[in-house]
Structure 1
Amino acid sequence: MKIALPIILLFIAQTSVAQIKVTQLAKTDVPKSIIYKGHIINAAKYADKTGDHLVITTETGETPTKNSENSDSRDAALYAYHYDMGGNNQFKLSWQLYDFISDCPVDIKANYVQGSFAVTDVDNNGIAEVWLLYRTTCRGDVSPSTMKLIMHEGDKKYAVRGESKVKLSEKETIGGTYTFDAAFKSAPASFRKYAADTWKKYIMDTF
């Protein structure tokens, strides 16, 4: 038993997932030098082996479409901003995300999926992954939304694109399909597993 114990402990250390310390920020904690559009959904800072980082996700909500032929038309957009943090409160924008729906006269959506925002290190390499899951749609019926899962690890971007799943009756659903982009297909298997698990967890859409 005394010989086996160190072997077991070594196995656990090699297979555990590294933890990234993430600090959630209130809107008032975001430095005034940071410019963003919309209202903040998530704001967080974290540190990995590449340094300190700040990520902000925002949504505009519904806004009237300018110069539309339809007076009921609305727009909606969402954004994400990622900053590398240097000394003396210096921030350098390293990547950003923008998606939108425009000129929509029926039900409109451009929203992050509540509870899905995450910062991880699933491949245990000391570089954090930032996961963003959101839905966009312009629909006047019971149909799935466009759903996208975007992940950034450093300067690398990965995407899963597909649609949410909608319940039509007690036994019938539609939607739910998704596709990994080329970056995900050649990425570590742990990335695809985390992405697929996240997609399945938040796949159901509501109205």
Structure 2
Amino acid sequence: MKIPGLLLVLSLILTQTCLGHFTLTSLDEETVPKSISYTGNISQAVRWTDNTGDNIVILTVTDKTQSKNAPDDSYSDAALYAYHYLVSGDGPKQTWKVYDYVKECPADIFLDFVDETFAVTDLNKDGKAEVWVMYKVACQGDVSPIPMKIIMYQDSKKFAVRGTTRVKVSATDYMGGEYSLDGAFKNAPAEFRQQAEKLWKQHATETWGQ
């Protein structure tokens, strides 16, 4: 469920009070600069200033569409994106992009950002923002664990966590929930790893809409 505009702003402000000092401005289709192009429907978009300059991040998810080269019309495609732009006198310049997708899926598509996980932080207090994006990506027709990722960027450096959600299979047993940090996270400041592991543990258990 997406947070309405005002509540989203308040949520982002509270998050930054805990994790950093940047003031975020919420954007939408009308307030994103017209010179910025993106694919899909805006899930979240924010703007802030740090030591690197004037920043904009846009998260989008496409509508599910029928696969073009599939055997029949029961196959679908979908994609999600996260864009980062630095805005200067010359206009916005894209510095990184996250792109993931499901193609030719004959089952259910799970492809969306995890609620209340997007954040812009300054955990190591160097004045440069860390941008956190967490999402699920799968094509499956059962209730098994779903592949999930955390992608974090500081400047143009990418950090990643990959694993699966955790699913309850009996009164006391769970399946899935495993994750691994990439080399960038393993060599990162401890506060980066701690935040990544905290995010994962908070959001790994699958509720299936409950």
Q: TM-score, normalised by structure 2?
A: 0.87
The match for 1:40 is 42
| Matched letter for residue 153 of structure 1 | Q
Contact 1:80-1:97 within 8 A present in 2 as well: yes
Give 1:1-207 correspondences, 5 Å limit.
18-87=20-89, 90-207=91-208
Q: TM-score, normalised by structure 1?
A: 0.88
Gaps of 5+ in 2: 1-17
The match for 2:8 is none
| Matched letter for residue 58 of structure 1 | T
Shift in Å, 1:67: 1.9
Q: Within 2, Cα distance between the matches of 1:103 and 1:145? A: 17
Give the count of matched residue pairs.
Answer: 191
Cα offsets for 1:117-142 (capped at 9, x unmatched) = 10000111111000000001111111
Contact 1:17-1:123 within 8 A present in 2 as well: no
Q: Within 1, Cα distance between the matches of 2:81 and 2:19? A: 29
Q: How well do the aligned residues superpose, as a CA RMSD in angstroms?
A: 1.4
Q: Which segments of structure 1 move beyond 4 Å, counting only runs of 4 or more?
A: none
Shift in Å, 1:17: 6.0
Gaps of 5+ in 1: 1-15
Contact 1:85-1:91 within 8 A present in 2 as well: yes
